[in-house]
Structure 1
């Protein structure tokens, strides 16, 4: 979108009567605003587009033809529910498009969670962020919100103790029959099935007092008096009574500013680096780029293009009876090929597509693996190392998709898995830094400038010997390039000798 003069403020973009996207521009403003990458796949055909400011002023209203398709732009998911691109650039299903009664269901589940936190785990919990905002404004959920937020107060003395406490909370919630996902060492999401089939989440955040400040997970570090938070007081939300901070206006002003009473779908609380860096160092991030890779893998699973040439080549060279560890399986086509070729196969990924997207194949198992969580890597590595038969590690387009700490964990897992010896089969893409910047506008998670030389050093560090390689010289030239180039594909086969001893 092009503005004749620099635009500052917030605006909604409507496609017909559907609000599909909200955005904001800080001073000094923007004259050009790009369509977010998750919106672009929906921009097929035509639409009567309106751009409306938060104050209600219409900046643009006209029919826009995006492609030659003779059909209106439609933003709906596989369940037929309307979608929006939210302030973070993510696809969401806002409450105002979901069936009546959903927020009541979430409020009831929130009460169950709070009961477990208080009566089993011994911590005080309350509604927070967007949920508290909706309760304070109108006693119910905000229409453009898409989940429920809860916080609890940790009285532990150190971040390590707080992480341990959160894992204990997770175990208590699971024991109560809840399904959840750990996001960081201070944040988890309880996942619910819903009548419309789309599911919903309730986020649970750690908060604490330290160094004269009040901390809310990854967003807030500011002086708050303890009596502004406690004792908790009752507040109406969706016809239920849930606990809220003692001075909810003070807590909301911290996150949303003094104008928190005025609705703004595009508002983004953007904490300074001093807040984010503290939380990253203390609690880590277990879900780095997960949403991006989930969308990428889901799209791949919907197309099912079949196995890669590399998977077919590796399968032809594997000894009968080898178990294949397909690490970073993505949509799973290569894993399906290995299993269909008679190899016992374990498909690992950070963002596995839904099980219903996988055909049933004998000998294939799926395992979630998070290279940004050392506990997960070590426990998975210990389990796969106990296999007494021959194993091969297979990783295609994985190394460049991992941040440096994730790549280190990959090599640690490979060393554990191949303790009795085996092979590592790699196929990766080398990207120049300018190309990575360009790719940032496409579907999928971030990629990193890593190549065969990094792999050689890492393989040598775990005792590996490079048996064969292909395309590596071109890959190294691509990484060093200062221009936008197509990624260069390279391959490497590494032998890992057996080491003494056996896993316990």
Structure 2
């Protein structure tokens, strides 16, 4: 294998290994630590080699110099070494670390995570958080039960799974339609907010509750609602199966590390629906594969609001605020001297917000990443900057912001955002401009307008969008777009332009 000198803004070369019938997957080690597993189904064959794409969580977290060892599943035989020379950080030894310096692993989604097994106190607090949240759900009128990885570990192993990183709670709703299921979930979200829980919505039926300790994120507990449609039990994102209703009665009990939880009367049908028939045998390389017909139904009914949010949370754990300075789009906006407030969509760590506020502008800085907004808030203390955490993928949040903003006329900055939003969600950013720019406000757009040689669907930093698409979407929102200019930001080609309200 070749030597690579990666940087945080590049994608690494994939793992290339000789293909063989004995190869069922790979386990990757950094030093003596097992950090990632992947099944053979996640790879492809090219010129006699079995190829695995390099997980984005690993490319962000590697520090130092050394070799990663690749072992064959299932027999553990060493089949390759992957030299790494990565100058980031202070460690000479090769390590995989989070932005806060904790030893990390790559989870089943390809993201960097910290399993709670590394910290016994964290394990106990996560179990306590899960228990307290279940009590809140009961107060709301639901009958929650332990599910997903927590249920699997309790039933199969009598303990937490080795790489467990969050808690999981499910419930069976009395709703009989997808719309009623979603309405109940939104009522639950408001109920939890009133009781001090901080939630993040992944879909119409999936909430992630964040627990914070001493001002820092500590643990997540996911809440998944499910309902029966005829004889089918449907629980996004994975379960659509004919499970007897009596099996899902939360009348069972399981104990994890001394904490008792409500469980299912018969957990095996649910575990088989979620993890297929092999759930009784541990498989570190397990990946969810949702049946296409189930995925179509669930996505159409309940949506998916996560987008690339988890990627950005990890990325902003490493990103150095202020390293790049203001963007070309922000500099161009500052020249108009209008005095109008600026709405900075996708503010990141606040480089543009700081710059524009220092030019005397009032700024509303918006991002979906908690780490990004926290950093921006710290950097803009004492400046006329309001920081809002908002997910542009979720139309409901966008409409709430438009109604609550009480702005007649604003300039809008949308830099390196549109290409990183999925599909039609790009219109959500332009919808804010349509309603809040007024008759004279300017919308300053910055995009990557050509492919990157390291393009991968897992890393939105490598995505791009054609100028023609932006022009078409602008016209659809009642704007004219003019003045394309080319510039460079690091290794990327950036195109900036200005949108103004089309005159009748």
When residues 324 and 196 of structure 1 are mapped into structure 2, their CA distance, relative to the original with a 3 A threshold, is closer
Question: Do the aligned partners of 1:328 and 1:347 also contact (CA within 8 Å) in 2?
Answer: yes
**In the alignment, does 2:228 pair up with 1:209?**
yes
Deviation at 1:441, TM superposition (A): 6.8
When residues 197 and 58 of structure 1 are mapped into structure 2, their CA distance, relative to the original with a 3 A threshold, is farther
Structure-2 residue corresponding to 1:317:
336
Question: Do the aligned partners of 1:422 and 1:498 also contact (CA within 8 Å) in 2?
Answer: no
Question: Do the aligned partners of 1:77 and 1:83 also contact (CA within 8 Å) in 2?
Answer: yes
Task: Give the alignment of 1:103-252 within 5 angstroms.
Answer: 103-118=123-138, 120-194=139-213, 197=216, 199-252=218-271
Deviation at 1:307, TM superposition (A): 0.9
Question: Do the aligned partners of 2:66 and 2:85 also contact (CA within 8 Å) in 1?
Answer: no
Structure 2: segments with no counterpart, 5+ residues: 1-14
Distance in 1, Cα, partners of 2:42 & 2:323: 45
**In the alignment, does 2:37 pair up with 1:25?**
no
Structure-2 residue corresponding to 1:368:
389
Task: Give the alignment of 1:25-424 within 5 angstroms.
Answer: 25-26=40-41, 30=45, 31-47=50-66, 49-60=68-79, 65-67=83-85, 71-97=92-118, 99-118=119-138, 120-194=139-213, 197=216, 199-302=218-321, 304-319=323-338, 321-352=339-370, 353-356=372-375, 358-359=378-379, 360-384=381-405, 386-388=406-408, 390-424=409-443
When residues 117 and 396 of structure 1 are mapped into structure 2, their CA distance, relative to the original with a 3 A threshold, is same
Question: Do the aligned partners of 2:173 and 2:181 also contact (CA within 8 Å) in 1?
Answer: yes
SS of 1:255's equivalent in the other structure is helix
Q: How many residues align?
A: 476
Structure-2 residue corresponding to 1:470:
484
When residues 448 and 67 of structure 1 are mapped into structure 2, their CA distance, relative to the original with a 3 A threshold, is closer
Question: Do the aligned partners of 2:136 and 2:192 also contact (CA within 8 Å) in 1?
Answer: yes
When residues 144 and 314 of structure 1 are mapped into structure 2, their CA distance, relative to the original with a 3 A threshold, is same
Distance in 1, Cα, partners of 2:458 & 2:428: 26
Structure-1 residue corresponding to 2:463:
447
Distance in 2, Cα, partners of 1:196 & 1:265: 32
Q: TM-score normalised to the size of structure 2?
A: 0.86
Structure-2 residue corresponding to 1:10:
25
Deviation at 1:116, TM superposition (A): 1.9
1:29-48 Cα shifts (integer Å, max 9, x gaps): 75233432321344454435
Question: Do the aligned partners of 1:381 and 1:417 also contact (CA within 8 Å) in 2?
Answer: yes
Distance in 1, Cα, partners of 2:258 & 2:120: 13
Structure-2 residue corresponding to 1:479:
none
1:59-100 Cα shifts (integer Å, max 9, x gaps): 2476x5322869221112244321011121010101222x21
Q: Among 447, 472, 479, which residue is 1:457 paired with?
A: 472
Distance in 1, Cα, partners of 2:314 & 2:100: 16
Q: TM-score normalised to the size of structure 1?
A: 0.86
Distance in 2, Cα, partners of 1:246 & 1:366: 46
Question: Do the aligned partners of 2:23 and 2:72 also contact (CA within 8 Å) in 1?
Answer: no
